[in-house]
Amino acid sequence: MNKFSQLAKALSLTTVLGLSCIGVSNAATINFNNGVAATDGSGLTSQYIDPNSVGITDYFIETFDQATGVPGFDGTTDYTIAGFEDDCAVNSVNAGPFGISVSGNSSEIGIRQGSVSNVAAAPLNDSTCYGYLTNNGEGSASVEFDYTNLLSYFSDEAGSGVELGITYLGFYWGSVDNYNDFEFYSGGSLVTSISGNQMLSEFNETSGDLHTYVEIEFSIAEKFDTLVINTNGVAGEFDNIVIGLSSRNLPVPAPTGLALFAFGLVALGLRSRLKK
């Protein structure tokens, strides 16, 4: 089993209910209704990886459940709500050598099971741990999932001449609200984003009533390395975050004009000598 497969359970937030395909930009396409039923009771998950299986090479899942964490990688319970420490955790090796770095205000990021009125609503048919973001009733809140460590690690493994990037993201978006959005960055620059308003409009649903698995496909040229989730309300819920890596060989640099000129001079000199 290669290192991608060994870590396949360590990274991801995903769930999908497809309906159509929306072109967000030239960089990404959003698909709905491609999600599948998860075998661990977490509702929906990616078509590429289930919480209870290794899945396809180069795909990683974050389930927020201790039970589906990678053996040997304890993750972190920094954001786990009191009373769920034995069940819930960010199990993607927080800030590890090939994990992700989760950053945000711990009072605004929560991991728990079940629904609590005016706090968080579990995604539909999700009886496992899930993540949520809240502004605690005032202002805005955000959480950042930085995959730079993961990319750096596997880029080193791939060697020079190979470009590696995240070109797939899937996540189970629970009770979609018009005050939540997901943003994708590469090197600090925004690649694309998706808002709750977009989702609700596409499904013709009321805020809070939609639970859907979302899949976003990126081109390798517009790959991303950081996911940012924002909310201006009580909560934005998510589970089964799945990312997929792609690679491409970098083109070999063509000789510069100066190098070609020098080569031409050498060729002329050689031709002159042969004539003599």
Left, alpha or beta for 40 (phi > 0: left; psi -120 to 50: alpha)? Answer: alpha
CB atoms within 10 A of CB 83: 10
> What is the tens place of the pLDDT at every residue in 125-142?
999 999 999 999 899 999
pLDDT score for 159: 66
Question: Residue 274 pLDDT > 80, yes or no?
Answer: no
Residues in the chain: 276
CB atoms within 10 A of CB 69: 20
Q: How confident is the model at residue 181 (pLDDT cuts 50, 70, 90)?
A: very high
pLDDT score for 201: 87
The type of residue at 48 is Y
CB atoms within 10 A of CB 229: 24
Q: Could you give the CA distance from residue 128 to residue 42 in angstroms, rounded to a whole number?
A: 5
pLDDT score for 97: 61
Question: Residue 149 pLDDT > 60, yes or no?
Answer: yes
> What is the tens place of the pLDDT at every residue in 21-68?
333 444 578 887 678 999 999 999 999 999 988 677 788 889 999 888
Q: Are 88 and 120 in contact (CB under 8 A)?
A: no
Output 221 or 195, whichever has higher pLDDT.
195
Contacts with 274 (C-beta within 8 Å, 6 or more apart), sequence order? none
Question: Residue 169 pLDDT > 80, yes or no?
Answer: yes
Q: How confident is the model at residue 116 (pLDDT cuts 50, 70, 90)?
A: very high
Mean per-residue pLDDT, 263-270:
43
**3-state class (DSSP) for residue 266:** helix
> What is the tens place of the pLDDT at every residue in 138-148?
999 999 999 88
Question: Residue 88 pLDDT > 70, yes or no?
Answer: yes
Output 167 or 7, whichever has higher pLDDT.
167
pLDDT score for 1: 31
pLDDT score for 98: 63
pLDDT score for 95: 54
pLDDT cut 70: percent of the chain above it: 72
List strands edge to edge, sheet with 180-186. 101-104, 141-146, 226-231, 180-186, 189-195
Output 4 or 225, whichever has higher pLDDT.
225
**3-state class (DSSP) for residue 138:** coil
Q: Could you give the CA distance from residue 173 to residue 153 in angstroms, rounded to a whole number?
A: 29
**Residue 24, both tokens:** 């967000």
Please give the mean pLDDT across all residues of the chain: 78
Q: Are 81 and 111 in contact (CB under 8 A)?
A: yes
**Residue 90, both tokens:** 């960010």
Output 10 or 145, whichever has higher pLDDT.
145
Output 231 or 247, whichever has higher pLDDT.
231
Question: Residue 261 pLDDT > 70, yes or no?
Answer: no
